[in-house]
Structure 1
Amino acid sequence: MSTETLLERINAYASRADPYPLYTELREHGVARQNDGGYLVGTYHEIAALLHDPRISSDVRLRTVPDLSGRPKDLPPSFIGIDDPEHDRLRRLAMRPFGPPHSPGRIDALHDDLVDIARELLDGLQGRDRIDLVDDFAYPLPVTVICRLLGVPREDMPEIRGWTNTIIASLDRSPEDDPQGRQRAGAEARAAMGGYLGALAERRREHPADDMISALVHDDGPEGRLTEPELMTTLTLLMIAGHETTVNLITNGMLTLLRHPDALERLRREPELMPSAVEELLRYEPPVQMLPQRTPLTDVDVGGVTIPQGAPLFLILASGNRDPLRFEDADHFAPARRDNQHFGFGSGVHNCFGAPLARLETQVALAELLRRLDGPRLVEDPPPYRHSPILRGPRHLLIAGGVGTGDGKR
């Protein structure tokens, strides 16, 4: 089959359960020109170089393929969709209340709260012989955390989920089921979420609380405050990115462990390996499989292939993570793997803003699941997957076996 259809085949829903043979095909060619004039890159070292190359733009306003971000036209792009110096300014403003150097202890201080939330969720599942890991655990854990961080009331979480699902569905590049309709719905959902968060920020101007929204609207740092449109866009990004990829990371992680019972039992015996195991999960089954279009600002040579200025460029991160020229036994899941510089959180100036939080949430989530699940078994393998080829993960993950107390009792 022609490599010029690789992106089309990767995007097809039939490939969602196992896209890795297609990534192997891509790596055999290194760079694959597509029949629409776009280019795919799937080898580790070439992806790494391009992620750090200032000639490669992330600006959504330069894209030639349809903008699937669902961005309302009256709002600016978020900082992940623009280049420096705008990107650097907005990212640093958003980072001030989130992490170092200005708020160095915010994420580490969440550890005990995370354990409490995870245990409360699992306590509520006792007595059941079957759970849906997504709906019952992997979604409510990170969304509860990001809502607490930002200061979003708990009673508004269902509305947040509805908007988020619509926005993520708009990222689906497959032609089925009215893609233009999905994109319109995504733009409307982003506008609604942005308006909601903007109104919440306005209330925090008058009545500040101990949350990130209050910190952002009252921050008088050297670069001033975010404008109202920038604030709405940034808060929407933090809300979605603050939980969506972590849902997939937890779910993909548990699915992988259930498929590798020896690794699961080893982590039960050696819980100190969990941080290393999470890094391996980020390599082996990353929640973000590829980056939306990047745009070369000039002709760029990649592996002996000239990618023309302005051509759509797609970096297949999950393919780079399985490159045997970079990782020994790359298709093998090794929870104690060393030298694991994966692309699970990207790389370069656009590396994932929330990586420290996602790591901590997943470490706690999987540790508590291994402690509490009683003889867990997959009900269906492969499980049904979400449609998005970019944010890949099961839509549901049914697990049989029940939830215990953690001390061997049910």
Structure 2
Amino acid sequence: MASDTLLARIADYANRPDPYPLYAELREAGPVVPQADGSFLVGDFHQLAALLHDPRISADERNLDADSPSLEPHPTFLRLDDPAHHRLRDLAMRPFGPPHSPDRVDSMRGEIARLTRELIDDFPADRPVDVVDDFAYPLPVTVICRLLGVPREDEPRFREWSEAQVTAVDIRPGEESAERFRAGRQARQETREYLLGLAEQRRGHPTDDMLSAYINEPDPAMRLTPEEIGVTATLLLIAGHETTVNLIANGALTLLRHPEHIDRLRAEPDMLPRAVEELLRYEPPVQMRLRTPLVDVEVAGSMIPQGAPLYLVLASGNRDPRRFGDPDRFDPDRPDNEHLGFGSGVHLCYGAPLARVEAETALGALLPLLASAQWAQETPPYRQNAMLRGPRHLMVHW
């Protein structure tokens, strides 16, 4: 098949269970692969790393060609460039502590471990357990709700909003894309209004959560506007659980497929952090990022024009044999595992330390159960989204 159909084939749900042969085709086709729709794909590790650090490559979708739809007229810092990105990201993360503060994250280990035990204790005895719905989803949702100050009982409302927003950023082409964008914008607006309303309830009545910290910030220079609070809280709520759900679910599925590693990880729990790093390389929850050049940019002899959609296929870079030996093998002992599972550069995932702790705790607690698990489907159903990839359900018998 022609390389200019790669994006469409990656988007095809039939390839969701195993997109990695397509990524190998992408790397073979060249460092930069133009697509029939005018977009460009990059899947080479070294080119990806360079582009993620290149200030000429914009995360702001408003810089895409005029014909490209934009989900959000008021972008989160995830979709801003410096200096606006730097300012908003720093202000947004102040209540959480320094972006990579080990003390802040480590202080949450006990709470995360307690929540994990509670979820496992509540596994149903009269039916198979869905590792996604019964475990991988509720754990990070509960954690981010407690951090932000969102009532856990409102979870059904923002789960629906979250699904609409994630669906809107999928890469599926077709006439339905306009409707997906419309539904995504509506869901984002409703989420923003809901979270800003919660924050306003705390104005003058501070509590120990991030919404309260935002609305009661005493320093005018450090204060977010109401619009910025709504947009930022929406991002933290959605991003704070979506990728971690996939990381935990992908991790459980990978261990079920490689049971030889389960007993060792049980005997050597200190190996869990390295196993999670390998999972982030081997089955990353974020498969690609959309960017666009601010000017015409030459990459490995190919010219990418200003404003063109540029897909950085991080999951392809993580399987690049020019960077990783035997890249299609899951190897928790892998040395020099500097993957792109959390991106790189100024947009390196701000929640990476917390996601690592959640994944280590969750998978560590699941190991005794995975050792005796029976599962119904070698290939479980996957979520529709090609950019945020993970199982939709993972049914197992303990």
Give me the TM-score of the superposition, normalised by structure 1: 0.93
The 1:373–1:9 alpha-carbon spacing in structure 2 relative to 1, beyond 3 Å, is closer
Answer with 204-213 or 344-353: which moved more.
204-213
Q: Could you give the per-residue CA deviations for residues 365-397 of structure 1, whole angstroms, max 9, x where no partner exists?
A: 000011344611221121101110010001111
- Are 1:55 and 2:56 an aligned pair? yes
The DSSP-based 3-state class of the residue aligned with 1:17 is coil
Deviation at 1:95, TM superposition (A): 1.3
- The equivalent of 2:17 in structure 1 is 17
1:145 corresponds, among 134, 143, 146, to 143
The aligned amino acid for 2:59 is: S
Answer with 353-362 or 94-103: which moved more.
94-103
Q: Determine if contact 1:70/1:190 at 8 Å carries over to the other structure.
A: no
1:301 corresponds, among 282, 298, 301, to 298
C-alpha distance in structure 2 between counterparts of 1:102 and 1:282, whole Å: 18
- Aligned ranges 1:163-178 → 2 under 5 Å: 163-175=161-173, 178=176
- The equivalent of 1:375 in structure 2 is 372
- The equivalent of 2:282 in structure 1 is 284
Q: Determine if contact 1:96/1:102 at 8 Å carries over to the other structure.
A: no
2:153 corresponds, among 137, 152, 155, to 155
- Aligned ranges 1:54-93 → 2 under 5 Å: 54-64=55-65, 70-71=71-72, 73=73, 76-93=74-91
The 1:296–1:70 alpha-carbon spacing in structure 2 relative to 1, beyond 3 Å, is closer
Deviation at 1:262, TM superposition (A): 0.6
Deviation at 1:109, TM superposition (A): 1.1
- The equivalent of 1:407 in structure 2 is none
Specify every segment of 5 or more residues in structure 2 that has no aligned partner in the other structure, as ranges: none
The 1:141–1:213 alpha-carbon spacing in structure 2 relative to 1, beyond 3 Å, is same
Q: Could you give the per-residue CA deviations for residues 260-295 of structure 1, whole angstroms, max 9, x where no partner exists?
A: 011122212211100000000000000000002x11
- The equivalent of 2:185 in structure 1 is 187
C-alpha distance in structure 2 between counterparts of 1:123 and 1:69, whole Å: 43
Q: Determine if contact 1:197/1:236 at 8 Å carries over to the other structure.
A: yes
Q: Could you give the per-residue CA deviations for residues 341-364 of structure 1, whole angstroms, max 9, x where no partner exists?
A: 111100000010100110000000
Q: Tell me the matched-pair count.
A: 397
The aligned amino acid for 1:318 is: A
Deviation at 1:165, TM superposition (A): 1.3
Q: Determine if contact 1:98/1:107 at 8 Å carries over to the other structure.
A: no
The aligned amino acid for 1:36 is: D
Deviation at 1:176, TM superposition (A): 5.7
C-alpha distance in structure 2 between counterparts of 1:374 and 1:325, whole Å: 34
- The equivalent of 1:116 in structure 2 is 114
1:234 corresponds, among 232, 235, 249, to 232
Specify every segment of 5 or more residues in structure 1 that has no aligned partner in the other structure, as ranges: 403-410
Answer with 256-265 or 135-144: which moved more.
256-265
Deviation at 1:305, TM superposition (A): 1.3
- The equivalent of 1:408 in structure 2 is none
Q: Determine if contact 2:8/2:173 at 8 Å carries over to the other structure.
A: no
- Are 1:389 and 2:371 an aligned pair? no
Deviation at 1:7, TM superposition (A): 0.6
Give me the TM-score of the superposition, normalised by structure 2: 0.96
- Are 1:356 and 2:374 an aligned pair? no
Identical pairs, percent = 58
Q: Determine if contact 1:65/1:312 at 8 Å carries over to the other structure.
A: no
- The equivalent of 1:35 in structure 2 is 36
- The equivalent of 1:262 in structure 2 is 260
Q: Determine if contact 2:63/2:294 at 8 Å carries over to the other structure.
A: no
The DSSP-based 3-state class of the residue aligned with 1:314 is strand
Deviation at 1:220, TM superposition (A): 3.6
Answer with 161-170 or 338-347: which moved more.
161-170
The DSSP-based 3-state class of the residue aligned with 2:340 is coil
The aligned amino acid for 1:14 is: A
Q: Aligned-residue CA RMSD in angstroms?
A: 1.8
Deviation at 1:69, TM superposition (A): 6.3
The 1:67–1:218 alpha-carbon spacing in structure 2 relative to 1, beyond 3 Å, is farther
